[in-house]
């Protein structure tokens, strides 16, 4: 059986559900090895959390160079591992870090790359949704090792517990990957809400909030949801850019996406169109986002959201 690599994804010191999603997709292709990149002496603790999903083995590469030389060192170590082990494919989370690592690996190993896949088949055919989700593309890498980034929340993860064999290998990092050094870094400030990329529910606000996200946040908190925003809202400084959903923001595929005061420009749709259920709250019945909504509420978000929040709260108690 062929071997497939996934790059294990972590939040803090725990493997995320994205890791289980990557493993589930990779297991269709072959036996899954989850590669863990860790600082010196930190691999075993991280690897112990990589135990959900069909993972046959965990391979730890330890080096303090990952922190010192950033993504270039991670990509170099992975590329050297791929050259040595020749896996059938490499699956990586399709976030900013994952896509940069994947692109560098593809160059270093002279391989083809497919980004933002929403599915991967047993024959390593990747599915992508392009042009704002209006067109489905099936494609296959024809040269080298297929390097595929997979959007979080796109694949139904198999969360069954696994007890993979844990091994270590040397992290080979060449001098070319050490040409720029990270002099300082700051972990992102995290609130109590789930990560936008990984959340099962996302509630987003747009220009219709007029800068007041309080009702959006209250509704999100009642649902245990992450908060997103349109570019109109982030450009106006109403919400941080890190929460922007869309073509130039984050791509999300939650079970439920609630868009409040967002018109539905193609650039916004590009980042949320694959959500499983879409609810739109907008006072304009002609808003284009209603075209792709599963449920629509025509109304003022400042009256709809507090009522919905109250209704959900009452149901829970
Ligand atoms: C290259 C490029 C990249 C882009 N990337 C992105 C991207 O990543 N993400 C993104 O979102 N956009 C992006 N945009 C911008 C995009 O084209 C739109 O301008 C933007 O999405 C509009 O945001 P909006 O829907 O919040 O605002 P608007 O289009 O102004 O819509 C506001 C909506 O709120 C409704 N509304 C107003 N008041 C209320 C109320 N009280 N209650 C209920 N509804 C109300 C209105 O009826 C309207 O439909 C990009 C544009 C370009 C050119």
Q: Please report, for the chain, the start and end positions of each structural domain, with discontinuous segments joined by +.
A: 3-178, 201-316
CB atoms within 10 A of CB 123: 8
* DSSP E strand stretches across 176-284: 201-205, 226-229, 256-260, 277-282
pLDDT in tens, the chain (317 residues): 689 999 999 988 999 999 999 999 999 999 999 999 999 999 999 999 999 999 999 999 999 999 999 999 999 999 999 999 999 999 999 988 999 999 999 999 999 999 999 999 999 999 998 876 778 999 999 999 999 999 988 899 999 988 999 999 999 999 999 999 999 988 776 678 988 988 999 999 999 999 999 999 999 999 999 999 999 999 999 999 999 999 899 989 899 999 999 999 999 999 999 899 999 999 999 999 999 999 999 999 999 999 999 999 999 88
User: Which fold does the domain 201-316 belong to in CATH?
Assistant: Rossmann fold (3.40.50)
Asked whether this chain's domains 3-178 and 201-316 adopt the same fold, the reply is yes
DSSP per residue over 73-86, as a string?
A: HHHHHHHHHHHHH-
Q: Which atom of ligand 1 is nearest to the CA of 233?
A: 26
- The Cα 121–Cα 225 span in angstroms is 30
Out of 210, 213, 231, mutate this one to test ligand 1's pocket (max ligand atoms within 8 Å of CB): namely 231
Cα distance between residue 203 and residue 209, in whole Å: 12
Residue 73 to residue 317: CA distance in whole angstroms? 51
231 lines ligand 1 (CB under 6 A): yes
The whole-model pTM stands at 0.79
Architecture of domain 3-178: 3-Layer(aba) Sandwich (3.40)
Q: Minimal CA–CA distance to 89: which of 118, 48, 121? A: 121
Return the structure tokens found at 267.
């650039």
Residue 122 pairs in a beta bridge with none
Name the residue of 234, 241, 263, 300 whose CB sits within 8 Å of the most ligand 1 atoms, as the mutation to test its pocket: 263
CA–CA separation, 164 vs 301, rounded Å?
48
């Amino acid at each position: 059986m062929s071997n497939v690599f996934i790059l294990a994804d972590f939040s803090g010191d725990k493997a995320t559900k994205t890791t289980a999603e990557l493993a589930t997709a990779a297991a269709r292709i072959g036996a899954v090895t989850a590669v863990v990149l860790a600082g010196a002496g930190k691999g075993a603790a991280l690897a112990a959390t990589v135990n959900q999903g069909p993972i046959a083995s965990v391979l730890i590469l330890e080096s303090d160079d990952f922190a010192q030389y950033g993504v270039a060192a991670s990509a170099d170590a992975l590329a050297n591992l791929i050259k040595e082990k020749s896996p059938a494919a490499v699956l990586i989370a399709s976030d900013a870090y994952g896509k940069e690592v994947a692109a560098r690996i593809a160059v270093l190993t002279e391989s083809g790359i497919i980004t933002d896949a929403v599915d991967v088949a047993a024959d390593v055919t990747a599915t992508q949704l392009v042009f704002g989700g209006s067109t489905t593309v099936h494609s296959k890498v024809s040269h080298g090792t297929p390097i595929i980034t997979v959007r979080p929340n796109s694949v139904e993860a198999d969360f069954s517990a696994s007890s993979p064999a844990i091994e270590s290998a040397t992290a080979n990092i060449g001098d070319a990957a050490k040409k720029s050094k990270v002099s300082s870094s700051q972990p992102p400030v995290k609130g109590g809400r789930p990560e936008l990329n990984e959340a099962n529910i996302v509630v987003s606000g747009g220009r219709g909030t007029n800068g007041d996200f309080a009702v959006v946040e209250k509704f999100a908190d009642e649902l245990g949801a992450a908060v997103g925003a349109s570019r109109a809202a982030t450009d106006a400084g109403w919400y941080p850019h890190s929460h922007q959903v869309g073509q130039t923001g984050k791509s999300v595929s939650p079970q439920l996406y609630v868009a409040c005061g967002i018109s539905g420009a193609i650039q916004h749709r590009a980042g949320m169109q694959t959500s499983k259920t879409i609810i739109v709250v907008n006072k304009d019945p002609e808003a284009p986002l209603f075209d792709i909504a599963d449920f629509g509420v025509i109304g003022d978000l400042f009256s709809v959201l507090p009522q919905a929040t109250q209704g959900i709260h009452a149901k829970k108690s």
